[in-house]
Structure 1
Amino acid sequence: MTRVRTTGIATTVLGVVAYVVGTVAAYPGRAFSVTAVMVGITLWAVGGDT
């Protein structure tokens, strides 16, 4: 796995966790979790295999 793909996977997972936490408890900046998921999926897709 390349560094970009690994970063994409990590960003996607963190974004999903932040989204789930945001549905339970309101916190400042929770809307950025959706952005993190979108960016993470994009990096995951672009990050190609070696």
Structure 2
Amino acid sequence: MNIVSGSGLALSAGGVVGYLVGVAAPFPGRAFSLTAVMVGVTLLAVGRSDAAEATA
């Protein structure tokens, strides 16, 4: 596992935990947990891709 997919997994897990805590007890800034999940899933997908960038 490389650093990008590892950080994506950690960010997604943290976002899910933040969301669950926000459902139980609302706190300021809880909407950032959804952003963390979206960014984490994106980083996880980018980290798992093996395709090299095409050159012109």
TM-score by length of 2: 0.84
Task: Give the aligned partner of residue 8 of structure 1.
Answer: 8
Number of residues paired by the alignment? 50
CA RMSD of aligned residues (A): 1.4
Q: Which sections of structure 1, spanning at least 5 residues, go unmatched? A: none
Q: Which has the larger radius of gyration?
A: 2
Give the % identical residues.
56
TM-score by length of 1: 0.94
Runs of 4+ in 1 over 2 A off after TM superposition: none
Q: Which sections of structure 2, spanning at least 5 residues, go unmatched? A: 51-56
Structure with more relative contact order (C-alpha pairs < 8 Å, separation 6 or more): 1
Structure showing the higher helix proportion among its residues: 1
